[in-house]
Amino acid sequence: MRHKKNAVSDVLPRPQGLTLYYDERKKSIKSVRISAYSQTFFLRIYALFPVPRRRFSLPFSRRFAIMMHMDNEKDNFREESAETHCMLCPVKCGANRSVRAGYCGVRGMNIAKYYLHPYEEPCISFAKGSGTIFFTGCNLKCVFCQNYEVSRAERGMPITPARLADIFRELEDAGADNVSLVTPSHLIGDIEKAFKIYRPKIPVVYNSGGYDDTESLKRIDDYIDIYLPDLKYVSPFLSERYTGRADYFSVASKAIKFMARKPLLFDEPAEEKNGDKPRGKMLSGLIVRHLVMPLGVNDSFAAIKWFKEELPPSAYLSLMSQYTPFGKIEKYPELSRPVTAREYDAVVNEAFALGIENLFIQKRSSSGEKYIPSWDY
């Protein structure tokens, strides 16, 4: 192998936390920066580098400085190596995502599309649209997912945190009313890095399936203005049958309570329509989405009851009628049809009966393939 003399770090894939500084004039390594994570790799790298062993000795003061640096790096080790033993989402699969995909189906960060989305809740899409970024992969395996090929990571373009920061800027420049991160739960580490490069000047929306780890959410909570999670099921039977996670409700309910701490804030409405003030654009808050499922009315009742009893009055509920038979539902005959008007109306009436005022209701015409994005990558 032919080695570059002026860039030792380019010679060999360097373990995180180890930095070698090469003195080109003396043709030797002049200093070493090593963390606790790199100790086990030290001797192997020592043997592989084409540097005479007699040149690799360090004075006592330098060795002492290395040991001190190792102690200082120990606190950063767990965070730096999060994706080498991934614990970002509630699955806690522990995958080394630098080598193989996790339960979510991806190794790094990939996107399928980013654009101005016109079909979200009115206060989210608002005027020009929500600057929506569709990430690939998912920590849920919903058999009916309308974005099946994206959630199963069958397509997508790899991007870096720096590129994601550039996309934030592009969406802002295009006039987006917010930046919406769709299915971000398994990518919080990379998203955090992107926010540190550039923080959008418009509201940031965290749009997830609700199956989120609260400790991971804390890492980016200061960057998030609006939470837009699903509350898919209450029944562990349904969540296990359709999503593969019997613990869905116990996890999602805890995460949504954490999200509910965001204060409710809208911009000032520009005008009044028919004597009623429009809601305007949401700047901060929580909207909980619930998709009404075929034969799922009783579970919807349970979800609405939990919403009313456990969340503050400032939270919004969005009842969706858009279920469309998609995905891999051959083994689930009950999912082979759309939701009926009778089923959806029963759920809406239950919400009204419980006194839920902050409520979004979806038109029955909102279901169908025309509302599913065409993927770019």
**What average pLDDT does the chain have?**
82
Q: Is the pLDDT of residue 39 over 50?
A: no
Q: What is the mean pLDDT of residues 351-360?
A: 96
Q: What is the pLDDT of residue 365?
A: 66
Q: What is the pLDDT of residue 91?
A: 96
Which residues, including other chains, have CB under 8 Å from residue 358's CB and lie 6 or more apart?
313, 314, 315, 316, 317
Which position has the token pair 């960060």? 109
Q: What is the mean pLDDT of residues 317-337?
A: 93
Q: Is the pLDDT of residue 36 over 50?
A: no
**How would residue 363 be classed by pLDDT, with cut points 50, 70 and 90?**
confident
What is 109-371's CATH number, 1.10.10.10, 3.40.50.700, 3.40.50.720, 3.20.20.70? 3.20.20.70
Q: How far apart are CA 332 and CA 325, in angstroms?
A: 10
**How would you classify the pairing of strands 109-117 and 204-208?**
unpaired
Q: What is the mean pLDDT of residues 146-161?
A: 92
Q: What is the pLDDT of residue 37?
A: 35
Q: Is the pLDDT of residue 329 over 90?
A: yes
Q: What is the pLDDT of residue 371?
A: 65
**How would residue 370 be classed by pLDDT, with cut points 50, 70 and 90?**
low
Domain ranges of the chain: 8-77, 109-371
Q: Is the pLDDT of residue 38 over 60?
A: no
List, for residues 271-293, the tens digit of each pLDDT value: 554 445 456 899 999 999 999 99
Q: How far apart are CA 233 and CA 318, in angstroms?
A: 14
Q: How far apart are CA 138 and CA 172, in angstroms?
A: 26
Q: What is the pLDDT of residue 34?
A: 43
Higher pLDDT, 359 or 53: 359
Burial (CB < 10 A; 0-12, 13-18, 19+), residue 296, is buried
Q: To which H or E segment does residue 305 belong?
A: helix 297-310
Of the candidate ranges 4-8, 161-165, 249-253, 320-324, the one whose mean pLDDT is the lowest: 4-8
In percent, how much of the chain has pLDDT > 70? 73
Higher pLDDT, 17 or 240: 240
Q: Is the pLDDT of residue 83 over 50?
A: yes
Q: What is the pLDDT of residue 69?
A: 41
Q: What is the pLDDT of residue 154?
A: 87
